[in-house]
C-alpha cells in the first residue's frame, strides 16, 4: 500500500537489491545531482542574507525588503538570468520568461504522458508473466510508472498547467508521448528488453535532467531516475536469465533485442542537425547534452552490457573507434521515427484507443467521487 511503502520504489520492495548493478555510474550521477541540489539550496540562503534585492526579489516580489530602491521589472528580468548562470534553481513562484514556462510545461507533460502510455506495453505481460516472482516485479514496475506520471503532472502543475488540461491534450492528440511505446511487446523477452534498453535510454536521457534549472522538475527527476535504475536492472536480469536458458528462451531474447535496438536509439530524438528545440533549452539549462551526445553515450554503455548477456546488437557496423574514443554505429532510421511520431507506428492507434477508453469508462466513477465529496463538504459546512 502506498502509505506503507514510503519513498522506496515498489520494484525494489518486491525485488530486493541483491544483484550487480548495470547502471551504477548513472546512479552515482543522480546522487551527485541530488547533493548539488542541496548545496545550491545552502548557497541560496547564504546569498539571500547579503543581497536583499537579488534572489529574494523574485521570490517575494521586488521591494519586499527594500521598497523603491530598484526598478522591479528590470530586477525580475535580471534575476532569472542570474539564477540560470549561477546554476541555481528557478522555483514555482519565481518570475520566468513565458517561453521558458511553456517549454517546460510541454516537456514535462510529454514526459508524464510517456510514463502513462508506457504502462500499456508492459501491462500486456503482467497476467502472463512466467513465474509469480516475475509477475510481482512487473506489476510493481508498472505501478512505479504510474507514480512517475503522478510526480510529473504535479511538477507541471507548479507551472500553472492543470492535470486535467494536460490529460485532455494527450487524449485529443495535441500533445505527444515517447514514440517508443508505439511498438508492440510481442513476447516475454520484450519485457526484459524494455527494462534494459528503453528504461536504460530513459535514464541516459534523464540523468542530466536531475540538474535541470527548474527546481520541481529536477527534484522529480532525481526520484524517477533512482527508480528507473531498478527498472533497468530487472529488465537486464530477465534477459540474462533468458540468454542463459533453453535454446528457445535464448532465441526469444535475441529476437527482442533485434526488434528494439533501433527504436531505442531513436528515443534520443532526431540528430542534432535537425533538432528544433535544442539550442534555447541548452541556454536555459533545461537540456544539457545534445541528442547525438546522449545517443553515443547510450551505445557505448550497451556494448559492454550486451557482451555480458551473451547476445549481439543487430548492427554490423558497430565497432570501437580509437580516434574518437567511442563506438561507431549505424544511426536509426529517422524517417521511421518521424512516421511513428506523426501517428503511423504499429501501435499508435491502439495505445490512444486504450487510453481514451479507460478515461471514458471511468467518467461515471469520477463523477460519483466528485458528487460524494461535494455532499460531504456540504454536510460539514
Partner 1 sequence: MTTVEEVLGLGDDALVAAQRLAQWTARAHELEEDVALANIALDQLGAARLLLSYAGELEGAGRDEDALAYLRDDREFRNVLLVELPNGDFAVTVAKLLFLAAYQRDRYRQLAAGEDERLAGIAGKTVKESAYHLDHAALWTLRLGDGTAESHRRMQSAVDEIWPYTYELFEGNELRPGWLATVEPVLAEATLTRPDDGGWAPRGGREGRHTEHLSYLLAELQVLHRAHAGASW
Give contact residues for partner 1 (rule: CB under 8 A).
Answer: 1-2, 4-5, 10, 14, 116, 119-120, 123, 126-136, 139-140, 142-143, 146-147, 149-150, 153, 188, 238, 241, 245-246, 248-249, 354, 358-359, 361-369, 371-373, 375
Q: How far is the CB of 208 from partner 1 (least distance, A)?
A: 26
In sequence order, which residues have a C-beta less than 8 Å from that of residue 167 and are 6 or more positions away? Answer: 153, 359
Compute the least distance from the CB of residue 308 to partner 1, in Å.
18
* 8 A C-beta contact, residue 199 and residue 173: no
Least Å distance, CB 177 to Fe ion, is 12
Residue 6 contact partner, candidates partner 1, Fe ion, none, CB within 5 to 8 A by sort of partner: none
| Nearest Cα residue to 330 out of 261, 275, 260, 278 | 261
Residues binding Fe ion: what is the number (CB under 5 A)?
6
DSSP character string of 124-142: TTGGG-SSHHHHHHHHHHH
Q: Which is nearer to Fe ion, 117 or 189 (CB)?
A: 117
Cα(313)–Cα(254) distance, rounded to whole angstroms?
A: 9
Nearer to partner 1, 83 or 167 (CB): 167
Work out what residue 136 binds among Fe ion, partner 1, none; the CB cut-off runs from 5 to 8 Å by kind: partner 1
Residue 184 dihedral angles phi and psi, to the nearest 5° = -85, 150
Residue 162 CB, nearest distance to partner 1 (Å)?
14
Element (H, E) at 327: strand 326-328
Site for Fe ion in 300-359 (CB under 5 A): none
Q: Closer CB to Fe ion, residue 95 or residue 115?
A: 115
Query: How far apart are alpha carbons 111 and 89 in whole angstroms?
Result: 20
Q: Residue from 134, 148, 233, 351 that binds Fe ion (CB under 5 A)? A: 148
Q: From the CB of 231, what's the least distance to Fe ion, in Å? A: 4
Distance between CA atoms of residues 351 and 105, nearest Å: 23
Whether 324 and 297 have beta carbons less than 8 Å apart is answered as no
Question: 139 to each of 10, 124, 319, 360, how far by Cα in Å?
Answer: 9, 11, 37, 24
Query: Closest approach of Cβ 183 to Fe ion, in Å?
Result: 16
Distance CA 58, CA 77 (A): 9
Closest contact distance (angstroms) between CB of 74 and Fe ion is: 41
Only one of the segments 224-232, 270-278, 279-287, 332-340 lies at the binding site for Fe ion (rule: CB under 5 A); that segment is 224-232
Residue 361 contact among partner 1, Fe ion, none, beta carbon within 5 to 8 Å by kind:
partner 1
The tally of CA atoms less than 13 A away on the side-chain side of residue 131 is 5
Residue span 112-141 as binding mask against Fe ion, x where in contact by CB under 5 A, dash where not: ---x--------------------------
Chain centre to alpha carbon of residue 32: 18
Closer residue to partner 1 in complex, CB, 5/59: 5
Q: How far apart are CA 26 and CA 229, in angstroms?
A: 8
- For residue 332, is it left (φ>0), alpha (ψ between -120 and 50) or beta? beta
Give the nearest distance from C-beta 216 to partner 1 in angstroms: 18
Interaction between residue 231 and Fe ion (CB under 5 A): yes
Rounded distance between C-alpha atoms, residue 332 and residue 342, angstroms: 17
**32: closest CA among 214, 197, 226, 199?**
226
148 touches which of partner 1, Fe ion, none (CB within 5 to 8 A by kind)? Fe ion
Tell the smallest beta-carbon distance from residue 378 to partner 1 (Å): 12
Regarding 111 and contact with Fe ion (CB under 5 A), the answer is no
Residue placing its CB nearer to partner 1 in the complex, 24 or 362:
362
Rule CB under 5 A: is residue 237 a binding residue for Fe ion?
no
* Residue 178 CB neighbours (<10 A): 22
x/- site string to Fe ion, residues 160 to 199, per CB under 5 A? ---------------------------------------x
The site for Fe ion (CB under 5 A) is made up of 115, 145, 148, 199, 228, 231
Amino acid at each position: 500500500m502506498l502509505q506503507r511503502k514510503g519513498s522506496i520504489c515498489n520494484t525494489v520492495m518486491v525485488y530486493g537489491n541483491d544483484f550487480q548493478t548495470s547502471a551504477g555510474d548513472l546512479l552515482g550521477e543522480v546522487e551527485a545531482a541530488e547533493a548539488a541540489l542541496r548545496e545550491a539550496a545552502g548557497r541560496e540562503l547564504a546569498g539571500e542574507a547579503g543581497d536583499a534585492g537579488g534572489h529574494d526579489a523574485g521570490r517575494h516580489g521586488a521591494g519586499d525588503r527594500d521598497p523603491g530602491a530598484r526598478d522591479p521589472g528590470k530586477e525580475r528580468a535580471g534575476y532569472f538570468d542570474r539564477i540560470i548562470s549561477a546554476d541555481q534553481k528557478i522555483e514555482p513562484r519565481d518570475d520566468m520568461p513565458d517561453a521558458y514556462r511553456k517549454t517546460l510545461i510541454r516537456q514535462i507533460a510529454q514526459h508524464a504522458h510517456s510514463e502513462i502510455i508506457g504502462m500499456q506495453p508492459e501491462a500486456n505481460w503482467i497476467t502472463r508473466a512466467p513465474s509469480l516472482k516475475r509477475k510481482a516485479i512487473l506489476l510493481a514496475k508498472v505501478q512505479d510508472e504510474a507514480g512517475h506520471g503522478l510526480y510529473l503532472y504535479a511538477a507541471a502543475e507548479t507551472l500553472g498547467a492543470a492535470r486535467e488540461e494536460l490529460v485532455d491534450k494527450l487524449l485529443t492528440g495535441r500533445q505527444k508521448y515517447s514514440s517508443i511505446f508505439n511498438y508492440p511487446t510481442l513476447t516475454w523477452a520484450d519485457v526484459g528488453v524494455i527494462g534494459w534498453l528503453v528504461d536504460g535510454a530513459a535514464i541516459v536521457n534523464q540523468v542530466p535532467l536531475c540538474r535541470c534549472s527548474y527546481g520541481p522538475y529536477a527534484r522529480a527527476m532525481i526520484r524517477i531516475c533512482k527508480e528507473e535504475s531498478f527498472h533497468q536492472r530487472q529488465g537486464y536480469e530477465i534477459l540474462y536469465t533468458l540468454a542463459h536458458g533453453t535454446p528457445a528462451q535464448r532465441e526469444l531474447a535475441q529476437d527482442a533485442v533485434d526488434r528494439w535496438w533501433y527504436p531505442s536509439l531513436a528515443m534520443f530524438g532526431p540528430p542534432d542537425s535537425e533538432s528544433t528545440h535544442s539550442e534555447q533549452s541548452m541556454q536555459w539549462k533545461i537540456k544539457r547534452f545534445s541528442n547525438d551526445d546522449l545517443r553515443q553515450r547510450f551505445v557505448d554503455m550497451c556494448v559492454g552490457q550486451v557482451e555480458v548477456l551473451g547476445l549481439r546488437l543487430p548492427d554490423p557496423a558497430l565497432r570501437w573507434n580509437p580516434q574518437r574514443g567511442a563506438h561507431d554505429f549505424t544511426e536509426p532510421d529517422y524517417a521511421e521515427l518521424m512516421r511513428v511520431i506523426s501517428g503511423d507506428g504499429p501501435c499508435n492507434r491502439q495505445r490512444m484507443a486504450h487510453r481514451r477508453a479507460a478515461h471514458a469508462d471511468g467518467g461515471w466513477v469520477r463523477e460519483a467521487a466528485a458528487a460524494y465529496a461535494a455532499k460531504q463538504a456540504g454536510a460539514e459546512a
